[in-house]
Amino acid sequence: MHIAALHQPSQVQLNQQGNLKHFLTIEGLSKESLTKILDTAQSFLDENNNLINRPLLEGLTVMNLFFENSTRTRTTFEAAAKRLSANVLNIDIARSSTSKGETLRDTLWNLEAMAADIFVVRHSSSGAAHFIAKDVCPNVAIINAGDGRHAHPTQAMLDMLTIRRETKKPFEQLSVAIIGDIKHSRVARSNVAALQTLGCKDIRVIAPNTLLPVGFNEYGEHVRLFNQMNGGVTDCDVIIALRIQNERIDSPALASQSEFYKMYGLNKERLALAKPDCIVMHPGPMNRGVEIDSSVADGDQSVILKQVTNGIAVRMAVLALAMQGQLQEQGLIEAISL
């Protein structure tokens, strides 16, 4: 399948009123747009970090189209949709008509004809969600649940919500370190974009050169590279450890699990170099003893489980905001005070 070029993502993602129509990538969205997502997600959490159900999408249908496996992301999107009272359909792509020779376009058009309102799409090809939103199903809201190495915008926003709730500091005052496989990580790319848009001026990327993307210097002036852990984590407010994908191990990019842990594993000694109130994050699933030690993952500074809860709130927010225009047209806007 040929994936369309990623041109002017903000124009595709926003409607004429400047509200969210699709959520495909962080790039191209303003600080105000990201803050609206965070504020809306915040409204779905009480002071004890418990989720609040709101029947904003009652009668609407959300289809989860996962061309690439991810139980955690699919499950949290399903939980988010159900907490908004939407109908949820999980389409088994491996058994769908695409495996019988039907084109992706035809499959999507048939699903759109089933009166779907939102497609949550995960795909191994970069740009897939953009392609579907722009060229195939522009009348259905498309939420990108991860596409190739390109983007994972809801993961970035749940990370931003976690940072905002747990540090209680403005993004402009934070030092954030991202550790691991930057080259193959859509999470890293989306997080860097979100942090920059929200005003963070000290973003540290810690990785060996073999795990850095081509054109790393294009990330921007506030992103610094560290090849050594100690310098990178010193005085940080936030540390995000990325999952090392098993297929990278024993390759030219990564010699072995033990070697990576020796050089870049987050343990108690390295965490002690950060600020005393530094929080530890991980997008999951974790490889304990590879990118992070169990004593850190389960320690007092870890907010990894809170990320999961915040992920449902963020996905509730994105689903609700993507339907805001439709609800306005139906005269239901009073039911969705965002």
Annotated binding site for carbamoyl phosphate: 72-73, 122, 152, 155, 284-285
User: Is 22 within 8 Å of 141 (Cβ atoms)?
Assistant: yes
SS3 1: coil
Placement of tokens 């600080």 in the chain: 31
Do you know the residue count of the chain? 338
Q: Which residues are annotated as a binding site?
A: 72-73, 100, 122, 152, 155, 186, 243, 284-285
Write out the binding residues for L-aspartate.
100, 186, 243
3-state secondary structure of 182: coil
Distance of CA 152 to the CA centre of its chain: 4
291-294, long-range: CB < 8 A, 24+ apart: 291/179, 291/180, 291/241, 291/242, 291/243, 291/244, 291/260, 291/261, 291/264, 291/265, 291/266, 292/241, 292/265, 292/266, 293/265, 293/266, 293/267, 293/268
